Amino acid sequence: MNSLVKSIMVTTLSAVVMLPTTSLAQEDAKQGIDSNSMKNEMVEEASKDVDLNVIDEREIIVKPKAQHSVSLAKYDVQKKKTEPELADLGLSVVKVSPSKSYEATLHELQRDKAIEYAEPNYVRKEAGGVAARVNDPNFYRQYDLKQINWSSRYVPKSKPITVAVLDCGVIRNHPDLKGKILKGKDYIGTEMTCGHGTRVSGVIAATYNNGIGLSGMNNNVRILPIRASQATSFRSTTIAAGVRYAVKHGAKIINMSFAERKFSRTEADALSYAYNKGVILIASAGNHPNRPVEYPAAYPEVIAVAATQKGSKLSRSTHGKAIDLAAPGKDIFLTDKDRGYAVSSGTSYSAPLTSGLASILLSRHPSLTPPEVEYLMEKGGYIPKAYRTKSGLTHTYGYGEIDVAKAIKAKLPASLSNDVGDSKKRSKEIQLNTTYRNKYDLPGDHDVYKLKLPTSQKVKIEVSQASVMDPVINVNGKIYDRRGPGRNEVARLSLKAGTNYITITEGNSHWSPKSYTLTVK
């Protein structure tokens, strides 16, 4: 990464930055996936503890508010090259001189009333370990495929599914990936020496029944390689640009085998955009057992994957309430950068196993949506007896270790036919002093209710918990999420006369067969 950064010409920033009138953030708000206020709070919270070790070259990402101009010359920062996918949205990347306080400059930018947000350009780390070389590649080494009940008979002959691998690049001439690698995008431009992306791609797409090497999950996959890293570090801006490139070039799944602790609004907006375009997002949870789930896996639209090992036992992996699924990540047999093979460990390889399963489900049923694919994978998950809970959800396995056979046989919930609409047009009208019952039917479900009042008045909105779910209340765009999983959520506020919209979601985008209740008094 440093070689790329050093090669970029740095100029003094004196230009005025303008934002297009139609912004992605506005689209997100209409979709009901997130709110600007909540994202900005997360940006500011993440920025309180500035750690330059996880920030790329003292850089800051700046996004002006809609139809506002910002003169950044007064902040004495230097302009850096911005990926075109982000420059088109009005974003700029600036560098703070070592002679100035990075933290003070960041907070000054955040206080500028013409700026929607300013945040560090974070660096994410790959979530895989060091590879150990082997000389005799063979299917018998792939305990992981046997453990998740994979079989080539589950993969239909169908139109290839495009899976974007956002990583450090993919070796095109590997014999097990012949004909599988699309043109893709290289944001780095230097000689490729990293094998991580080739390992990840082989888990998904290595050709089986070709008499050599190993078996990938799906023969009917094409890998869209997006080179966003020189080696092990991924900048927020390059991640966001790569996600948008993947959407534009037809990816149905984006695999992200890297992780770091800090929230990034730039990444969050790009991932919301991809999700709303129907793209399945899958990421490694991280390799630190004592940390919460890391980003990008921790974003609500992303499927967070923890690691297991042989025998479905837990491996050294990040755990927490945001975990969705688990997959083998210990001693995984892999394609490698020099046309050879290797063994490595980490959630880096749990994620592509899950991406492979998602691609199989799409191969079989191309009309499935991202929440439906995630639900089927989670419905088919396996949790060892010692870790099972009444809710069917744990902080270690999520909904369980993936199981190909069970996921293929799983059915979507019958309750979908009675689900409350997910938009204002499809909202359910409710009355005061009446209790309504519904479910979080699918991952990312958001139920929109409409309350009409003749006059403004104070109300109490209460949502009961459903098992270990985390109820979140959104009232006319304002978020209420104070109590956490397993507890009722309450909002006390004044509502205006006329039509008010109340949206109920689950804080970690989880689903439950149990009902929640909504009451407005």
DSSP for 294-319, written as a single string: PBTTTSTTEEEEEEE-TTS-B-S---
Question: Can you tell me the distance from the alpha carbon of 341 to that of 133, in angstroms, rounded to the nearest whole number?
Answer: 7
Torsion sign across C-alpha atoms 339, 344, 346, 347: positive
Q: Spelled out in words, what is the top-level CATH class assigned to the domain 416-520?
A: mainly beta
Q: Which 3 state secondary structure label does DSSP give 116?
A: strand
Question: What's the mean pLDDT in 483-505?
Answer: 95
Residues 463, 517 contacting (CB under 8 angstroms): yes
Query: Is 348 an active-site residue?
Result: yes
Q: Is the pLDDT of residue 43 over 90?
A: no
Pick the residue with more confidence: 495 or 190? Answer: 495
Question: Can you tell me the distance from the alpha carbon of 375 to that of 441, in angstroms, rounded to the nearest whole number?
Answer: 9
Residue 335's pLDDT is 95
Element (H, E) at 457: strand 457-463
Query: Is 176 an active-site residue?
Result: no
Report the topology of domain 126-412: Rossmann fold (3.40.50)
Amino acid, res. 249:
H
Structure tokens at 17: 């930055």
Q: Is the pLDDT of residue 17 over 50?
A: no
Question: Can you tell me the distance from the alpha carbon of 428 to that of 501, in angstroms, rounded to the nearest whole number?
Answer: 10
Residue (of 443, 438, 457, 450) closest to 495 by Cα position: 457
Share of the chain above pLDDT 90, in %: 71
Query: Is 196 an active-site residue?
Result: yes
Residues 489, 483 contacting (CB under 8 angstroms): yes
Amino acid, res. 417:
S
How many CB atoms are closer than 10 A to CB 7?
11
The one catalytic residue among 34, 56, 144, 196: 196
Every domain of the chain and the residues it spans: 2-122, 126-412, 416-520
pLDDT digits (tens, 9 = 90+) for 271-330: 999 999 999 999 999 999 888 999 999 999 999 999 999 998 888 899 999 999 999 999
Question: What's the mean pLDDT in 37-41?
Answer: 59
Residue 313's pLDDT is 87
> Across all residues in the chain, what is the average pLDDT?
88
Residue (of 229, 246, 244, 252) closest to 361 by Cα position: 252
Question: What's the mean pLDDT in 164-171?
Answer: 96
Residues 313, 387 contacting (CB under 8 angstroms): no
Cα-Cα end-to-end distance for the chain: 55
Residue 18's pLDDT is 37
Residue 171's pLDDT is 93
Q: Find where tokens 């090992």 sit.
A: 309
pLDDT digits (tens, 9 = 90+) for 381-435: 999 988 898 889 999 999 999 999 999 999 999 988 889 999 999 999 999 999 9
Question: What's the mean pLDDT in 374-387?
Answer: 95
213: region left, alpha or beta (phi > 0 left; psi from -120 to 50 alpha): left
The one catalytic residue among 167, 269, 324, 422: 167
The one catalytic residue among 23, 348, 363, 427: 348
Share of the chain above pLDDT 70, in %: 88
Q: Say how far residue 498 (Cα) sits from the centre of its chain.
A: 37
Residue 40's pLDDT is 59
Structure tokens at 155: 């993969």
Question: Can you tell me the distance from the alpha carbon of 179 to that of 174, in angstroms, rounded to the nearest whole number?
Answer: 10
Domain 126-412 and domain 416-520 have a common topology: no
How many CB atoms are closer than 10 A to CB 104?
11
pLDDT digits (tens, 9 = 90+) for 209-265: 888 899 999 999 999 999 999 877 889 999 999 999 999 999 999 999 999 989 999
Question: Can you tell me the distance from the alpha carbon of 421 to that of 472, in angstroms, rounded to the nearest whole number?
Answer: 16
Residues 280, 352 contacting (CB under 8 angstroms): no
Provide the pairing of β-strand 115-126 with 233-235.
Answer: antiparallel
Residue 70's pLDDT is 86
